[in-house]
A and B are shown apart, each in its own frame.
Chain A
Amino acid sequence: MAEDGAHIAMVEDSGTWRFPASAPLRLDSGGEIAGLEIAWRSFGTLNADRSNAVLICHALTLDQHVAGTHPVSGKPGWWSLLVGPGKPLDPDRHFILCANVIGGCMGSTGPASINPATGQPYGLSFPVITIADMVRAQAMLVEAMGIETLFAVVGGSMGGMQVLQWAADYPERLFAAVCVASAARHSAQNIAFHEVGRQAIMADPDWRGGDYVRAGVRPDKGLAVARMAAHITYLSEGALQRKFGRELRRDGLSWGFDADFQVESYLRYQGASFVDRFDANSYLYITRAMDYFDMAAPHGGVLAEAFRKARDVRFCVLSFTSDWLYPTPESRDIVRALNAAGARASFMEIESDKGHDAFLLDEPVMLSALRGFFEAAAAARGLK
């Protein structure tokens, strides 16, 4: 759709940017992706001096449909509480852009895309990608759209990792950075949970060594189990207990292995609905990118070095008390490194029993903190 950038200046827009084969995406692995496609969605209007652009980076299983209505599920965008009229990120003031990550399955080049070299779906011939590769692709898109400097880059969970990578790799191209419920590297526990998910997918006979698209099947069972396991890590013990307790679906036990408990039924539903909107190989590739993420590694283990050039960026780092996937000490490590690098870092731990998912939910303290942060940054940036 929008190839020329002429009609990105609409209140809401979407499209797929196709880069010519002459402008491939170079990858950390040493390879490259030629004929890169990036699917994006935007809200609001880019102002005359192109200074009001906000890039939102999405989490593992989310997509570019951050606000508005999701074209597949028909549900409101995943961060509608943050993005929308009168919200902290307001299309009346900001040009809000979100792009599907590479490796994803909502329109950007990923393992389900057709490999132009073979005419067949990539499958496992898709190169292993990293968070930095995702960010490099976003930087190509942002540049192609004629945006030199982003007012802010914002994201939670894997989106927060991309935010940190943006600050490290393109510090001169962003004014403010918001990293919510995230970490500067994947912990052993994070990797362990991802491995469970990947093994569930690969154990499904319909996975077919990653070549299921050509075989006309889908490893739905494996992908559903991966989602069920991951979903538990997004919640908290308290949230599960409050929501389900030991509630049964009907009177009495079945004395079998049906879903007797409400929590079982809920997880099965989460798994079943996930497979309708997500690709199993994408799940493998994106979880791998997260596992490989360690911002300090290229700097001899000194995280502060990664942010050395990001001293002029205004950072806001947020965590949640009950998030055991990316617990508060991970955010504190980020803040400590930012302070050591001399950056302007703010940090807040928000009281919540909703676990990791809190960043997507109605957490008034988070939303008002972000509203204040964006308003102060806009004043400092001279945005109206």
Chain B
Amino acid sequence: MREDFREILRLVRPSARVLDIGCGEGELLELLAREKQADGRGIEISAQGVSACLARGLAVAQGDADRDLEQFPAKAFDYAVLSQTLQATHRPKAVLEAMLRLAERAIVSFPNFGHWRVRWSLLSRGRMPETRALPDPWWATANIHLCSLADFTALCDELGLRIEACAALSADRPARQIDPRKAIENWRAEQALFLLSRRPGPDFVEPTDGPRDLFSR
């Protein structure tokens, strides 16, 4: 099992309503349904992925994170999952806000541009990094909005998001719980997975756009 899937499975409450944004062929949704009895929905950009999801009996709509999140009513889900895709969206800030409009919690993972391999690659070669987590050359990569852990936690602060949990992920090691605000983790984490929720503050506004309570059981 993919390490990020294992971590997501650990975070998600049983019987939760989950939206997987960029669900591919539906592996995670199927896992969540089987292991957590989750009520899942998916958004996937490729027809091939949607077709595979249909054959698995999953409810998946073709679309992309930048445009098609508004189709869901506010608070329709307990969790919205965006795995390794935030850095490839056109408007990552708007996507994050949309995720926390339609779900109580967001689970977001991305490659950390502050990782020491990335820094070393740029420093030593003076060229755009090509690493295990970022394998494509600059002219072919889908990653148009890369960020470091420090960048991401700053954005969470700006959006008033609470970081409920954070794990460092790497291909060959088990997930490791970290404090993403520690400078050392910004060097060490190859990828990171965040569990976010809205922080009810003085200027917190209940999301109200779109019909509500239509999705509740």
- Which residue numbers of A lie inside 8 Å of B, CB to CB? 302, 304, 308, 314-316, 332, 335-336, 339-342, 344-351, 365, 368-369, 371-373, 375-377, 379-380
Query: Which residue from A340, A342, A350, A369 sits with its C-beta under 8 Å from B54?
Result: A369
Query: Which residue from B56, B57, B61, B73 sits with its C-beta under 8 Å from A345?
Result: B61
Closest to B217 in A: A342
- Which residue numbers of B lie inside 8 Å of A, CB to CB? 41, 47, 50-63, 68, 71-73, 76, 210-211, 214-216
Closest to B212 in A: A340
**B residues near A347, Cβ cutoff 8 Å:** 50, 60-63
Interface core residue of B52, B56, B211 (most chain A CB under 10 Å) = B211
**B residues near A350, Cβ cutoff 8 Å:** 47
Closest to A373 in B: B54
How many Å from the CB of A180 to the closest CB on chain B? Answer: 13
Question: How far is B208's CA from A357's CA once the two chains are assembled, in angstroms?
Answer: 40
Question: How far is B130's CA from A327's CA once the two chains are assembled, in angstroms?
Answer: 41
- Contact status A379-B51, CB under 8 Å: no
**A residues near B61, Cβ cutoff 8 Å:** 335, 339, 345-348
- Contact status B57-A379, CB under 8 Å: yes
Closest to B70 in A: A336
Closest 4 CB pairs of A and B: A372-B55, A376-B57, A347-B61, A336-B71
Query: Which residue from A304, A335, A365, A379 sits with its C-beta under 8 Å from B47?
Result: A365
**Complex A-B: 30 CB contacts under 8 Å:** A304-B211, A304-B214, A332-B71, A339-B72, A340-B71, A340-B72, A340-B73, A340-B211, A344-B59, A346-B53, A346-B60, A346-B61, A347-B50, A347-B60, A348-B51, A348-B54, A348-B61, A350-B47, A351-B47, A365-B47, A369-B51, A371-B55, A372-B54, A372-B55, A373-B54, A375-B55, A376-B55, A376-B56, A376-B57, A376-B58
With contacts A336-B71, A348-B47 taken as known, whether A376 is within 8 angstroms of B54 at the C-beta atoms is: yes
- Contact status B55-A342, CB under 8 Å: no
**B residues near A371, Cβ cutoff 8 Å:** 55
> Apart from A342-B216, A344-B59, A345-B61, what are 7 other A-B pairs with CB-CB below 8 Å?
A304-B214, A308-B214, A332-B71, A339-B72, A351-B47, A369-B54, A377-B57
Question: How far is B214's CA from A372's CA once the two chains are assembled, in angstroms?
Answer: 28
- Contact status B57-A342, CB under 8 Å: no
Question: How far is B68's CA from A372's CA once the two chains are assembled, in angstroms?
Answer: 24
- Contact status B55-A314, CB under 8 Å: no
- Contact status B54-A316, CB under 8 Å: yes
Query: Which residue from A314, A340, A341, A365 sits with its C-beta under 8 Å from B59?
Result: A314
How many Å from the CB of B81 to the closest CB on chain A? Answer: 16
